[in-house]
Amino acid sequence: MQPENNQLVQRVLLRAATAADVPIFFEHQQDPVARHMAAFAPADAADRSGYLAHWNHILNDRMNLARTILYDQQVAGHILGFELFGKRTVGYWVGRDYWGKGVATQALAQFLQYDETTRPLYARAVKDNAGSLRVLEKCGFRIIGDDRGFAHARGEDVEEYILQLVE
Ligand SMILES: CC(C)(COP(=O)(O)OP(=O)(O)OC[C@H]1O[C@@H](n2cnc3c(N)ncnc32)[C@H](O)[C@@H]1OP(=O)(O)O)[C@@H](O)C(=O)NCCC(=O)NCCS
Protein backbone atom coordinates (compact mmCIF):
# COMPACT_ATOMS: atom_id res chain seq x y z
CA MET A 1 0.00 0.00 0.00
CA GLN A 2 1.18 3.51 -0.77
CA PRO A 3 1.77 5.57 2.40
CA GLU A 4 -0.29 8.34 0.77
CA ASN A 5 -2.24 9.26 3.85
CA ASN A 6 0.20 10.56 6.42
CA GLN A 7 -2.55 11.64 8.77
CA LEU A 8 -3.92 8.10 8.86
CA VAL A 9 -0.43 6.67 9.38
CA GLN A 10 -0.14 8.80 12.52
CA ARG A 11 -3.60 7.89 13.83
CA VAL A 12 -3.20 4.11 13.45
CA LEU A 13 -0.57 2.48 15.66
CA LEU A 14 0.18 -1.12 16.54
CA ARG A 15 1.54 -2.32 19.86
CA ALA A 16 1.88 -5.70 21.56
CA ALA A 17 -1.53 -7.05 22.56
CA THR A 18 -2.04 -7.54 26.31
CA ALA A 19 -4.57 -9.34 28.47
CA ALA A 20 -6.08 -5.95 29.35
CA ASP A 21 -7.12 -5.48 25.70
CA VAL A 22 -8.95 -8.79 25.43
CA PRO A 23 -12.28 -7.66 26.98
CA ILE A 24 -12.44 -5.02 24.23
CA PHE A 25 -11.72 -7.64 21.54
CA PHE A 26 -14.52 -9.68 23.15
CA GLU A 27 -16.92 -6.76 22.66
CA HIS A 28 -15.85 -6.45 19.02
CA GLN A 29 -16.53 -10.13 18.32
CA GLN A 30 -20.01 -9.92 19.82
CA ASP A 31 -21.20 -7.74 16.93
CA PRO A 32 -23.47 -10.00 14.81
CA VAL A 33 -22.68 -8.15 11.57
CA ALA A 34 -18.94 -8.55 12.13
CA ARG A 35 -19.39 -12.20 13.15
CA HIS A 36 -21.26 -12.93 9.93
CA MET A 37 -18.49 -11.27 7.90
CA ALA A 38 -15.68 -13.13 9.60
CA ALA A 39 -17.72 -16.38 9.82
CA PHE A 40 -14.84 -18.21 11.49
CA ALA A 41 -15.59 -16.91 14.98
CA PRO A 42 -16.51 -18.65 18.25
CA ALA A 43 -19.83 -20.49 18.16
CA ASP A 44 -21.16 -18.71 21.24
CA ALA A 45 -20.59 -14.94 21.06
CA ALA A 46 -21.59 -14.57 24.73
CA ASP A 47 -19.02 -17.08 26.03
CA ARG A 48 -16.74 -14.58 27.74
CA SER A 49 -14.68 -17.11 29.73
CA GLY A 50 -14.12 -19.22 26.61
CA TYR A 51 -12.98 -16.17 24.67
CA LEU A 52 -10.63 -15.05 27.46
CA ALA A 53 -9.18 -18.57 27.70
CA HIS A 54 -8.63 -18.68 23.94
CA TRP A 55 -6.78 -15.35 24.07
CA ASN A 56 -4.77 -16.48 27.09
CA HIS A 57 -3.53 -19.31 24.87
CA ILE A 58 -2.81 -16.91 21.98
CA LEU A 59 -0.81 -14.53 24.17
CA ASN A 60 1.23 -17.33 25.74
CA ASP A 61 2.15 -19.17 22.55
CA ARG A 62 5.40 -17.78 21.18
CA MET A 63 4.41 -18.89 17.68
CA ASN A 64 1.75 -16.18 17.68
CA LEU A 65 2.33 -12.52 16.97
CA ALA A 66 -0.54 -10.53 18.45
CA ARG A 67 -0.83 -6.77 18.02
CA THR A 68 -3.46 -4.36 19.26
CA ILE A 69 -4.62 -1.79 16.71
CA LEU A 70 -4.89 1.69 18.20
CA TYR A 71 -6.81 4.49 16.50
CA ASP A 72 -6.26 7.84 18.20
CA GLN A 73 -4.90 5.89 21.21
CA GLN A 74 -8.14 3.87 21.51
CA VAL A 75 -8.21 0.07 21.14
CA ALA A 76 -9.78 -0.34 17.69
CA GLY A 77 -9.06 -4.02 17.05
CA HIS A 78 -6.37 -6.64 16.76
CA ILE A 79 -4.14 -8.25 14.18
CA LEU A 80 -2.51 -11.66 14.42
CA GLY A 81 0.20 -13.75 12.81
CA PHE A 82 -0.26 -17.47 13.47
CA GLU A 83 0.23 -20.95 12.07
CA LEU A 84 -2.77 -22.43 10.23
CA PHE A 85 -2.50 -25.79 8.48
CA GLY A 86 1.30 -25.40 8.55
CA LYS A 87 1.23 -21.99 6.83
CA ARG A 88 2.07 -18.61 8.36
CA THR A 89 -1.21 -16.72 8.23
CA VAL A 90 -2.54 -13.28 9.16
CA GLY A 91 -5.94 -12.38 10.56
CA TYR A 92 -7.53 -9.23 11.97
CA TRP A 93 -10.67 -7.77 13.44
CA VAL A 94 -11.64 -4.10 13.68
CA GLY A 95 -14.45 -2.89 15.96
CA ARG A 96 -17.45 -1.53 14.04
CA ASP A 97 -17.04 2.01 15.43
CA TYR A 98 -13.78 2.19 13.46
CA TRP A 99 -14.89 0.74 10.12
CA GLY A 100 -14.58 2.69 6.89
CA LYS A 101 -11.65 4.86 7.95
CA GLY A 102 -8.87 2.78 6.40
CA VAL A 103 -7.90 1.35 9.79
CA ALA A 104 -7.64 -2.31 8.72
CA THR A 105 -5.65 -1.46 5.59
CA GLN A 106 -3.24 0.77 7.47
CA ALA A 107 -2.87 -1.73 10.34
CA LEU A 108 -2.17 -4.62 7.97
CA ALA A 109 0.33 -2.56 5.95
CA GLN A 110 2.25 -1.69 9.14
CA PHE A 111 2.05 -5.26 10.43
CA LEU A 112 3.51 -6.65 7.20
CA GLN A 113 6.29 -4.07 7.16
CA TYR A 114 7.42 -4.09 10.79
CA ASP A 115 6.02 -7.12 12.64
CA GLU A 116 5.04 -10.16 10.60
CA THR A 117 7.95 -10.47 8.21
CA THR A 118 7.66 -14.23 7.61
CA ARG A 119 7.35 -15.11 3.94
CA PRO A 120 5.60 -16.82 2.33
CA LEU A 121 2.59 -15.38 4.14
CA TYR A 122 -1.04 -16.31 3.70
CA ALA A 123 -4.54 -15.14 4.61
CA ARG A 124 -8.03 -16.52 4.29
CA ALA A 125 -11.36 -14.75 3.87
CA VAL A 126 -14.87 -15.99 3.26
CA LYS A 127 -15.76 -15.42 -0.39
CA ASP A 128 -18.51 -12.92 0.47
CA ASN A 129 -16.34 -10.90 2.91
CA ALA A 130 -15.79 -8.11 0.38
CA GLY A 131 -14.26 -5.76 2.96
CA SER A 132 -11.57 -8.17 4.08
CA LEU A 133 -10.79 -9.22 0.53
CA ARG A 134 -10.35 -5.57 -0.46
CA VAL A 135 -8.07 -4.93 2.54
CA LEU A 136 -5.93 -7.92 1.57
CA GLU A 137 -5.81 -6.93 -2.09
CA LYS A 138 -4.73 -3.36 -1.20
CA CYS A 139 -1.91 -4.75 0.92
CA GLY A 140 -0.56 -7.02 -1.82
CA PHE A 141 -2.31 -10.36 -1.30
CA ARG A 142 -3.58 -12.31 -4.30
CA ILE A 143 -6.01 -15.23 -4.43
CA ILE A 144 -4.22 -18.55 -4.94
CA GLY A 145 -6.96 -21.01 -4.12
CA ASP A 146 -10.04 -21.79 -2.16
CA ASP A 147 -11.33 -24.04 0.57
CA ARG A 148 -14.48 -24.96 2.38
CA GLY A 149 -15.03 -25.31 6.10
CA PHE A 150 -17.58 -25.20 8.87
CA ALA A 151 -18.02 -21.63 10.16
CA HIS A 152 -19.38 -21.57 13.69
CA ALA A 153 -20.61 -17.98 13.51
CA ARG A 154 -22.90 -18.95 10.61
CA GLY A 155 -23.64 -22.51 11.68
CA GLU A 156 -22.88 -23.84 8.19
CA ASP A 157 -20.15 -24.68 5.73
CA VAL A 158 -18.73 -21.68 3.88
CA GLU A 159 -16.46 -21.16 0.90
CA GLU A 160 -13.32 -19.14 1.52
CA TYR A 161 -10.46 -17.85 -0.56
CA ILE A 162 -6.84 -18.56 0.29
CA LEU A 163 -4.54 -15.63 -0.49
CA GLN A 164 -0.78 -15.20 -0.56
CA LEU A 165 1.22 -12.01 -0.14
CA VAL A 166 2.88 -11.09 -3.44
CA GLU A 167 5.33 -8.22 -2.95
C1 LIG B 1 -13.20 -6.38 7.14
C2 LIG B 1 -12.70 -5.28 8.09
C3 LIG B 1 -11.38 -5.71 8.71
C4 LIG B 1 -12.52 -3.99 7.28
O5 LIG B 1 -12.02 -2.99 8.18
P6 LIG B 1 -11.99 -1.43 7.80
O7 LIG B 1 -11.05 -0.78 8.74
O8 LIG B 1 -13.38 -0.90 7.72
O9 LIG B 1 -11.37 -1.49 6.33
P10 LIG B 1 -10.73 -0.26 5.52
O11 LIG B 1 -11.41 1.00 5.96
O12 LIG B 1 -9.26 -0.35 5.60
O13 LIG B 1 -11.26 -0.58 4.05
C14 LIG B 1 -10.41 -0.98 3.00
C15 LIG B 1 -11.22 -1.17 1.73
O16 LIG B 1 -12.24 -2.15 1.91
C17 LIG B 1 -13.50 -1.61 1.55
N18 LIG B 1 -14.48 -2.18 2.46
C19 LIG B 1 -14.44 -2.17 3.82
N20 LIG B 1 -15.53 -2.80 4.31
C21 LIG B 1 -16.26 -3.19 3.24
C22 LIG B 1 -17.47 -3.90 3.08
N23 LIG B 1 -18.17 -4.35 4.16
N24 LIG B 1 -17.92 -4.15 1.83
C25 LIG B 1 -17.24 -3.74 0.75
N26 LIG B 1 -16.05 -3.07 0.83
C27 LIG B 1 -15.59 -2.80 2.06
C28 LIG B 1 -13.34 -0.11 1.73
O29 LIG B 1 -14.28 0.59 0.94
C30 LIG B 1 -11.91 0.09 1.27
O31 LIG B 1 -11.84 0.02 -0.14
P32 LIG B 1 -11.35 1.28 -1.03
O33 LIG B 1 -10.06 1.76 -0.42
O34 LIG B 1 -11.23 0.71 -2.38
O35 LIG B 1 -12.45 2.30 -0.86
C36 LIG B 1 -13.75 -5.02 9.22
O37 LIG B 1 -15.01 -4.79 8.66
C38 LIG B 1 -13.86 -6.16 10.21
O39 LIG B 1 -13.05 -6.30 11.11
N40 LIG B 1 -14.88 -7.03 10.04
C41 LIG B 1 -15.18 -8.11 10.98
C42 LIG B 1 -14.04 -9.13 11.14
C43 LIG B 1 -13.51 -9.64 9.81
O44 LIG B 1 -14.23 -9.84 8.84
N45 LIG B 1 -12.18 -9.89 9.82
C46 LIG B 1 -11.51 -10.43 8.67
C47 LIG B 1 -11.66 -11.91 8.62
S48 LIG B 1 -10.91 -12.60 7.13
- Domains, the chain, with CATH or none: 6-120 (3.40.630.30)
Chain centroid to Cα 44, Å, comes to 19
> How much is the pTM?
0.96
Confidence (pLDDT) at 77: 98
| CA dist 87 → 1, 63, 124, 134, 160 (Å) | 23, 12, 11, 21, 16
pLDDT at 3 exceeding the cut of 60: no
CA 81, 101, 37: angle at the middle one, nearest 5?
Answer: 55
In the reported structure, the alpha carbon of residue 155 is separated from the centroid of ligand 1 by a whole-number distance in angstroms of 23
Would you say the CB of residue 34 lies under 6 angstroms from ligand 1? yes
Minimal-distance CA residue to ligand 1 atom 40: 34
Alpha-carbon distance 124 to 161, whole Å?
Answer: 6
Would you say the CB of residue 130 lies under 6 angstroms from ligand 1? yes
Confidence (pLDDT) at 1: 53
pLDDT at 131 exceeding the cut of 70: yes
